[in-house]
Each structure stands twice: as structure tokens, then as C-alpha cells.
Chain A
Amino acid sequence: MNAFVAILRRDLRLALRQGADSVMVVAFFIVTTTLFPFGVGPEANILARIASGVIWVAALLAAMLSLERVFQTDYEDGTLELLTLSPVPLELLVLGKVCAHWLTTGLPLIIAAPVMAVMLNMDQDGFGTLMIAMLIGTPALSLIGAIGAALILGARRGGVLVSLLVLPLYIPVLIFGAGAVEAALLGISAQAQLQIMGAILLLSLAAAPFATAHAIRQAVE
């Protein structure tokens, strides 16, 4: 457990010193969402109709953009090699790094989401569900994304590759995340969608650290 805290603290400290990364993810999220009213026109009804989908797609893309840096810099400067040689399970270290990634990207996105919802004229009834759905969904995005981030280590043009690997895996989170908000807007219970998202989160929590650690071991070999 100490190892988990140690790596989490170091990654948060790094993120704090290089604050631009985190801010950029949120800025990207806001800019992408803002593009939609320009594209589809400022008709309030249409925007309200597409709001939940737009917010989720933008959040997915923003989370994906930040994936490359999860392991890449550690891989390049030799830190990853030393982490795999530490006398602690690599899976635990991976979990610590993913947790740091979520705190620096997922959490700011959750905070920014309601603001974007207001801009897209989403009905107030959906706000609570949107935030709960993102609270369950974004950790899953970080966990699933970590597998992709570890797989592209050592590959050239990794950024493009990671999107091809990870975005298809994000689709279930998108479907049920947007579905939950839609349900809330229609006034019916979103419990089913949220429970499925919870299942996705638990499944990725169980599998992703092992898959990621395995990919990292391959990369540093």
C-alpha cells in the first residue's frame, strides 16, 4: 500500500509542477464542446437534444488525449525500467499511476461538465445524473486507457495508435453514460445504466492493472 501512495504522490507532484497538462485537457474538453453550437446552429432545442452525447464524446476524446503521457515520459527517461525492478508488484504501481491520471484529468472533467451542460441548454434534471455517470465512467476511461498507453510504448506515432486502440473500447462507457443522462432527462430512472457502468468500472479495475503491467514488462524487456 505504501508503494501505491508513493507513486500516486510522486505523479501528483509531477502533475502539479507541470500544471499545463491538466489545464490543457480541460481546455480541450471545453473547446470541443463549444464547437458543436457553431456546427449545428444555436437552436436551443437541438442543442438540448444532443447535449449528453456531445459532453460524453468530448470527455472521451479529452481523456484519450492525455493518455500518451501516462507512461511515455517514464519510459523514455528509464524510470519505468526501475519501477519494474522495484520490490513491489508492478500492478500496484500501475494502479497508483492510473489513480493519479484520473485525479488530474477525470476529476477536472467532471467539474467542467455541468458548465458545458448549461451552455448546451441541457435540462437541469440531467445534471445530477450526468455528474454521477461521469464519476463512475471516467475512472473506467483511465483504467482502460492505461492498457492502450502501455501497449504503444516504444512505438513511433504512438498518439494516433493509442486512439485507434482505445476509442473502440470506450464505446460501452459512451453508450451507457449518455443513456443514463437521457433517461434522467425523460424522467425515468437511470439506475440500470449506472449499474452497468459500475460493472464496467469493476471489470476494468480487476483486469486493467494486470494487462497494463504485462504490456509494460514487454516494453522494457
Chain B
Amino acid sequence: MTVFTGSDLTCLRGERLVFGDLSFNANTGDAVMLRGRNGAGKSSLLRLMAGLMAPRRGTIRWQGDDIADDKIAHRARLHYLGHQDAIKPVLSVRDNLRLWAELRGISDIDAEIDQALRALDIHHLGKTAGRYLSSGQKRRTALARILLGQSDLWLLDEPTVGLDRESCAELARLIAEFRARGGIVIYSTHVDLDIAAPTILDLDQFAIPMMEWLVEQDDEEDTRESLSPDMNQGKSAEAAI
């Protein structure tokens, strides 16, 4: 059985349809690379997978259970890395990481943080305040966060932004180690990250023009009720053209 699946996903951001009828499958040890032009919905898909947003339609399942049913359990198994590093300028690198370790209920916090800092080669920065870090060092601190505690799923949104070439290689190595332990990595990137045999999910294939989607919705009586009035207006405007 596949571990992490999404079926028939439709994502609506504001009034814009980002993608529709998207499905994905990932097994233990898999890496899925999200590809697509700007605005194709790579970040949106990662946020759906994390449970930060709910899909307009479709379900995401972990070992057969809808992730929306037990969000706390889903959050405990995943690490999400967004565009922002969430580093507090007045706190040291260690204190920044400490909160996340505590929230995950890690017992030996100092040892875990040491290990994560060493893995990203920023152990010497442990006591440095966030405001003195370069953007690459901030990104590495954010990456150190995803090494804390047990996790089965990494959702990485452009993890390489701000990283130099060595750090990218380092990241690729960490991802390989995580996969060897049975972890699933889903990531989007614009640079070549040296990752073995990733499954490629091209989001451009799932873009649907708004018009087509609305026509399809018209056939489904029940879902049409919940559509907002401005979208119906948008449709008539398009029809007039």
C-alpha cells in the first residue's frame, strides 16, 4: 500500500483555480519533485499536504486515513520548510531551535540540537544571535529545525534558496539519509539538487482554465450551491466575451 496519497485534488486560492484533479502517490523512501512555472501551485500543494490549507475538493491520505481527521498526528509526522526561516533576531541559534524541539516533545533537547547543528555545519554559530546570521546561515538554521525529532515526511518549499553549492550538496546528502531511513521527501526547487531518482510531478499538467472548471461544476448540482456569487459573475463575464 502506498503511504502518502492525494486523489482528485482541486486547489482554489482566493478566486483563482490553481490546479485541479491532481493525484499523487509516495511510498516510504520516495522523493517527489514538484515542477511547474511560477504560480503553478507548487507551494499551494505543499501547504495542502501539510494541512495548512484544505483542498477545495479531494482528499489527502496517510496510510489510508484522511489527514484532516487527525491533524495533530499528521503534524507530528511531518516537517515543513516554507519560504520564511522563522528566525528571531534577538535569540541565539540554539534558543531559536529550542522552541521547536520543545514543541515536538523531544526529551534530550540539547543533544538533538547539537546533532542537528553539526549535520548542517553551523555548530560554531550556536550562541550567535539571529540578527548576525547571513541569509545562508539563516536557511541552514531553518534546515536544522527539520532534523529535530522523529519525522516521516519532509515538505520542502524551495529549500535551496540562499544556500551555496556546498550547502546544496549537504542538503542532498541529508535528504538521502532521511530517505534511507524510510522518510518521504516532497520538494520544489529551481536549482538542480543531486537527488537520486526523484518522482517528478509536473503541476503544469493539472492547470485547468477557470471556464472549463465552472462548466464541469455546473453539472454537479450539489457543489454548485456552495460556489460564491462572484465566481458565477466571473463566468457570465467570460461568457459575454
Contacts and interface: CB of A to CB of B under 8 A. Distances in A.
Contacts, number: 71
B103 interface: yes
Given A7-B99, A87-B103, A79 B88 contact: yes
Contacts of A78: 82-86
A13 interface: yes
Given A10-B99, A221-B53, A86 B104 contact: yes
A85 B95 contact: no
B125 interface: no
B102 A220 contact: no
Give the interface size bracket for A toward B. Answer: 20 to 34
Contact of A18 (B82, B90, B98): B90
A6 interface: yes
B91 interface: yes
Contacts of B80: 81-82, 85
B78 A85 contact: yes
A14 interface: yes
Given A6-B99, A17-B90, A77 B76 contact: no
Give the interface size bracket for B toward A. Answer: 20 to 34
Contacts of A86: 75, 100, 103-104
Overall SS of chain A's interface: helix
Contact of A221 (B52, B88, B99, B100): B52
A81 B52 contact: yes
B99 A81 contact: no
A171 interface: no
Interface in A1-29: 2-3, 5-7, 10, 13-14, 17-18
B142 to A, nearest CB: 9
Interface in B63-111: 72-73, 75-76, 78, 80, 82-88, 90-91, 95, 98-100, 102-105
A84 interface: yes
Interface in A87-133: 87-89, 93
Nearest to A217: B52
B186 interface: no
A14 B88 contact: yes
A21 to B, nearest CB: 11
B88 A77 contact: yes
B38 to A, nearest CB: 20
A3 B103 contact: yes
A78 B90 CA distance: 16
Interface of A: 2-3, 5-7, 10, 13-14, 17-18, 77-79, 81-89, 93, 220-221
Given A78-B85, A84-B52, 20 more contacts: A2-B105, A3-B102, A3-B103, A5-B102, A6-B99, A10-B91, A14-B91, A18-B90, A77-B88, A78-B86, A79-B88, A81-B52, A81-B80, A82-B80, A85-B50, A86-B100, A87-B72, A87-B104, A88-B103, A221-B47
Interface of B: 47, 50-53, 72-73, 75-76, 78, 80, 82-88, 90-91, 95, 98-100, 102-105, 145
